[in-house]
Amino acid sequence: MCPATAVENTDRGWIIPIGGAEDKENDMKILHRFWKLSGGKDAKILVIPTASQLEDTGPRYVEIFEKLGGKAMYIRVDDREDCFKDRIQGKLKRATGIFITGGNQLRLSTILGGTPVAKSIRDLNARGIHVAGTSAGAAIITEHMIAGGSPGPTPTENGATMAPGLGLTNKLIVDQHFRQRDRIGRLMTALSYNPFISGIGIDEDTAAFISPQGVFEVVGAGAITVVDPSGLTHSSMHDARHQDVITLIGMKVHILGEGSKYDINTRETFTD
C-alpha cells in the first residue's frame, strides 16, 4: 500500500510516530509541537482512539489539546461499520491534525483497514494534514506494520508478526516502547523478511517528526534506534527453521538523541 498521490503545489502533511507514554502533564513537548504544527490556537485536532478499549482515552486527549488551545474532538470508531458513516468522514475533513492513540494495533488494522476512513487519512495527509500516532497508533502509520513478536536482543525466525498498515510512508517500519520493552530483535526480524526499508525503534516519550521531504527529527526524552539494512550482505532468514536465530551481516545501526535527524530517502544521519 503506497502513500496517496500528493496534490500539485501542496506539501504532504507531517507524519509523527510516537514511542508511547509521552508526557501529558508537564511541558508536553511532543504533544505541544504536534498541536503547534497543526495550527496552534487555530488547530482542529481529531483524535481516533480505536486502538484503545478504555472509555476515557479519547476524552483525555481532547482535554489535553484543548488545554493547549484550539479545538479538539474525538470519534468513536469501534467497528468497521462505523468507518462507512458520513458523519465520520465529515469530521475527518474538518481536521488540521489527526491523532491516533495507543492500544492494540490489530484493532486498528482490522477495524480501519480497507475502509473509507483509512483512505481518507491517506488522502488528507497527501493534502497537507498532519498525522500523529502514539504506541499502536505509531505502528500503523507505515505500509508494513509490526503487529506482535517476541522481546529480546536477538532476531529469530518467529520474532515478528506483520500486518498491513495505513501506508502513509512505505520507507520505514516502526517499533515503539523500544528500549523499555527490549524490541531490537523483533525490529531486525521484521527487516530481515525483505530488507529494502529502514527500521526505527522509538523509545517512550520520544517521537520522530517526519517532514514532507522525508527527513525526521528526534524530539523527546529518549532515543530513536535506526536500523539500516541497505548494506546487508547475508541473511539466513530464507532457510531458518522455527525459532532459529537469524544471522544478519552488514546491518548498520544508529542511536539518535533529541535534535538528531535522519533522511529516510538517502539514509543519511546528521545533527545541526
CATH number at residue 208: 3.40.50.880
With bands split at pLDDT 50, 70 and 90, how would you rate the model's confidence at 8? Answer: confident
Is residue 266 one of the residues assigned to a domain? no
What is the structure's pLDDT at 1? 66
Type of residue found at 184: I
When pLDDT is averaged across residues 102-128 and rounded to a whole number, the result is 97
Is residue 80 one of the residues assigned to a domain? yes
Is residue 4 one of the residues assigned to a domain? no
Is residue 9 one of the residues assigned to a domain? no
When pLDDT is averaged across residues 197-218 and rounded to a whole number, the result is 98
When pLDDT is averaged across residues 135-149 and rounded to a whole number, the result is 97
With bands split at pLDDT 50, 70 and 90, how would you rate the model's confidence at 9? Answer: confident
Alpha-carbon distance of 232 to 261, in angstroms, equals 22
**Beta-carbon count within 10 A of 153 CB:** 9
Is residue 272 one of the residues assigned to a domain? no
Is residue 3 one of the residues assigned to a domain? no
Structural domain including 94 reads 15-259
With bands split at pLDDT 50, 70 and 90, how would you rate the model's confidence at 270? Answer: very high
What is the structure's pLDDT at 96? 98
pLDDT at 202 over 70: yes
What is the structure's pLDDT at 179? 98
Collect all residues with Cβ–Cβ distance below 8 Å to 9 and sequence separation of at least 6. none
With bands split at pLDDT 50, 70 and 90, how would you rate the model's confidence at 5? Answer: confident
What is the structure's pLDDT at 78? 95
When pLDDT is averaged across residues 179-202 and rounded to a whole number, the result is 97
Q: How many domains does the chain have?
A: 1
Q: For the chain, what is the mean pLDDT?
A: 96
With bands split at pLDDT 50, 70 and 90, how would you rate the model's confidence at 272? Answer: confident
Collect all residues with Cβ–Cβ distance below 8 Å to 20 and sequence separation of at least 6. 102, 134, 135, 138, 176, 177, 204
At which residue does the C-alpha cell 508537564 appear? 26
pLDDT in tens, 223-267: 999 999 999 999 999 999 999 999 999 999 999 999 999 999 999
Q: By C-alpha distance, which of 153, 190, 215, 172 is closest to 11?
A: 215
Alpha-carbon distance of 98 to 123, in angstroms, equals 12
Is residue 238 left, alpha or beta, with left meaning phi > 0 and alpha meaning psi from -120 to 50? alpha
When pLDDT is averaged across residues 3-15 and rounded to a whole number, the result is 88
**Active-site annotation, residues:** 135, 177, 204
Percent with pLDDT over 70 in the chain: 100
